[in-house]
Amino acid sequence: MPRENLNPFVIAQTYFEQAAERLGLDDGMRAILSTPKRILTVSIPVKMDDGTYKVFIGHRVAHNMSRGPAKGGIRFHPDVSLDEVKALASWMTWKCACLGLPFGGGKGGVEVDPHQLSLNERERLTRRYTSEILPFIGPDQDIPAPDVYTDPQIMAWIMDTYSMTRGTTSLGVVTGKPLALGGSKGRDKATARGVQFVLREACKGLKVSIKGASVAIQGYGNAGSHLATLLHAEGARIVAVSDSKGGVHAPKGLDPAKLQALKADGESLKTFPAGKPITNKQLLELPVDILVPAALENQITSDNAARIRAKIVAEAANGPTTPLADDILFKRGRTVIPDILANAGGVTVSYFEWVQDFSSFFWDEDEVDKRLEVYMRRAYAAVAETAKKYKCSLRGGAYVLAVDRVAEATRVRGIFP
């Protein structure tokens, strides 16, 4: 078999084309919906603590703004590339449409390993990057949020840089902010809670009970670690977890609170004493009920898809499964809850945060969680129904639903001028 093309933007286009084909979209509409609206690449000079200068490259892509302002995270990672940001931005378009949120899709990234920078260097990098993309972001234009290796503190610096430059206090320019600065309760756990809600829906139909289910989670950051805690509390057995350095496997189950304490000490999960070390690749192939990729793209490919033994794959990460692998998993009867549905809890609570910032009226965590559950369950039902109608996977259903909504918005708006 020829090697798969692992370029994330090519993969994003492949999934889009499958939906466009199912919907019978014409070539013009396909071109409009698949081409990013705006692509910006900037250089970011930073004065390092030792007095030298370094230049980093950053991107911000607004893929589509037909249904509302662009929305999407900012990633700080050495492997960031423009094509990755374009792919992630387009996935945000489909995700927001899938959930019925009034947003388009955007994404940003800086080619940097933030772990090599001091706190002050990270702040200068963030502020300069914000300043470079500033003409194109704003509460009604393009609204960033956290993604891999960015966090609420970085969102606070973005909000401050934007606000100081504009001479306003603009809470709605970013989401995922600290609570002291217009952040939303429940935003830190929102991505994981969203995964938990759709997992419950998927489990209902598959005679799998979360209580007692075995779970493997790849990636132990915001999405992965909160999910481990939530599923553990619901009675699931977390049998394996990993981070960028490797993982730990314990068939009897791991205690997320102890794993968290280890991470807080700056240790890798693979050093956790109550289990055996396991590689990221091995973790994916464990015989578990539920597998959660919660790290980066292209983890389940045509190389390993035939060896995935999980009954349910819940994509907390964006783009973890390639189209060839997706096909293999579907034919093997595995249920894949696709990224644009599974991990949409994050952007849904980001939407709640933006709404709260505008109204200057803040909700308690219970209310956030209840509303999130409504959005996630409703989206899951709509996706499952569409998949049934088109006799395709949940991913196929999610894309058809989302692409159709954006196409409809484009049609009724019309093309300017």
141 vs 298 by CB, closer to ligand NAD: 298
Strands 214-218 and 290-293: parallel
CA distance 150 to 147: 6
Closest distance of CB 340 from ligand NAD, Å: 10
Q: Does 76 bind ligand NAD (CB under 6 A)?
A: no
Q: Does 109 bind ligand NAD (CB under 6 A)?
A: no
Catalytic residue among 37, 86, 95, 107: 107
Task: Give yes or no for a contact between 308 and 282, defined as CB atoms under 8 angstroms apart.
Answer: no
Q: Does 146 bind ligand NAD (CB under 6 A)?
A: yes
Q: Does 110 bind ligand NAD (CB under 6 A)?
A: no
**x/- map, 260-299, ligand NAD, by CB under 6 A:** --------------------x-------------xxx---
CA distance 390 to 406: 18
Q: Which of residues 340-399 bind ligand NAD (CB under 6 A)?
A: 343, 346
Task: Give yes or no for a contact between 241 and 275, defined as CB atoms under 8 angstroms apart.
Answer: no
Closest distance of CB 228 from ligand NAD, Å: 11
Q: Which of residues 218-247 bind ligand NAD (CB under 6 A)?
A: 218-224, 242-244
- DSSP string for 91-156: HHHHHHHHHT-S-EEEEEEEE--GGGS-HHHHHHHHHHHHHHHGGG-BTTTEEEEE-TT--HHHHH
Q: Does 155 bind ligand NAD (CB under 6 A)?
A: no
Which residue is closest to ligand NAD by CB?
A: 221
DSSP assigned state of 245: T
Task: Give yes or no for a contact between 173 and 181, defined as CB atoms under 8 angstroms apart.
Answer: no
Furthest C-alpha separation in the chain: 64
Count residues binding ligand NAD (CB under 6 A): 24
Strands 104-111 and 53-64: antiparallel
Closest distance of CB 270 from ligand NAD, Å: 11
Task: Give yes or no for a contact between 236 and 414, defined as CB atoms under 8 angstroms apart.
Answer: no
Q: Which of residues 303-332 bind ligand NAD (CB under 6 A)?
A: 316-318
**Active-site residue, 107 included:** yes
Catalytic residues: 107
State the residues that interact with ligand NAD by CB under 6 A.
146-149, 191, 218-224, 242-244, 280, 294-296, 316-318, 343, 346
